[in-house]
C-alpha cells in the first residue's frame, strides 16, 4: 500500500502521525515543516481535476462489480476521492495546521484510495481498473 515518496514527504508524514498520537501537539513542528507541508498541500490541490476527479469518473465508468465486497470498496474509494477533491475548498493555514490537518488529510486520503484500488483489483481483476490504479499511484508518487 505504500508508494514511493521523497524523504522530506516521509518526514512530514512521520511528524503528522507523531503530532496526532500526542493529541495534535505541534511542538516538534517548525516553520520549514509548515512551509513544506503547505507546498505539498498545494501540489495535491493542483491535482483535484487531473487525479481525484478523473480517477473517480474512470472508476465510476467501470462495469459494476456486482459482488458486495467489491461494490462496497468501490463506493468507499469513490467517496474518498470526492473528499480529496473537496479539500480544495478548505484554506491551507499558515501555521502547524497546514501539516497536522491539511497535509495529513491528503496523505491519509491518497493512502486509502491506493489501498482500496489494490483491494478492488484483487477482487475483480480488470485491465482497465489496473491502469486506473497504476496511473493514480504514478500521479501521487510524482507529488510525493
How much is the pTM? 0.93
pLDDT in tens, the chain (144 residues): 689 999 999 999 999 999 999 998 899 999 999 999 999 999 999 988 889 999 999 999 987 777 678 889 999 999 999 999 999 999 999 999 999 999 999 999 999 999 999 999 998 888 899 999 999 999 999 999
Q: Within 10 A of 40 (CB to CB), how many other CB atoms are there?
A: 24
The rounded distance, in Å, linking the Cα atoms of 109 and 107 is: 5
Written as nine digits, the cell of 129 is 481498473
> How much is the pLDDT for 67?
67
Which three cell numbers mark 128?
A: 482497465
SS3 call for 22 = coil
What the block records as the C-alpha cell of 21 is 498520537
The residues, ordered by sequence, that sit 6+ positions from 135 with a Cβ below 8 Å of its Cβ are: 55
Amino acid at each position: 500500500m505504500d508508494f514511493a515518496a521523497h524523504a522530506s514527504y516521509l518526514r512530514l508524514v512521520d511528524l503528522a502521525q507523531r503530532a496526532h498520537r500526542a493529541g495534535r501537539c505541534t511542538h516538534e513542528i517548525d516553520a520549514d515543516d509548515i512551509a513544506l507541508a503547505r507546498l505539498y498541500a498545494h501540489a495535491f490541490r493542483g491535482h483535484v481535476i487531473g487525479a481525484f476527479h478523473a480517477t473517480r469518473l474512470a472508476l465510476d465508468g467501470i462495469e459494476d462489480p456486482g459482488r458486495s465486497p467489491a461494490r462496497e470498496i468501490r463506493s468507499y474509494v469513490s467517496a474518498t476521492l470526492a473528499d480529496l477533491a473537496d479539500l480544495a475548498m478548505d484554506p491551507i493555514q499558515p501555521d502547524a495546521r497546514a501539516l497536522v490537518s491539511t497535509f495529513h488529510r491528503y496523505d491519509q486520503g491518497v493512502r486509502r484510495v491506493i489501498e482500496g484500488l489494490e483491494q478492488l483489483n484483487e477482487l475483480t481483476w480488470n485491465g482497465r481498473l489496473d491502469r486506473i490504479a497504476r496511473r493514480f499511484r504514478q500521479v501521487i508518487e510524482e507529488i510525493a
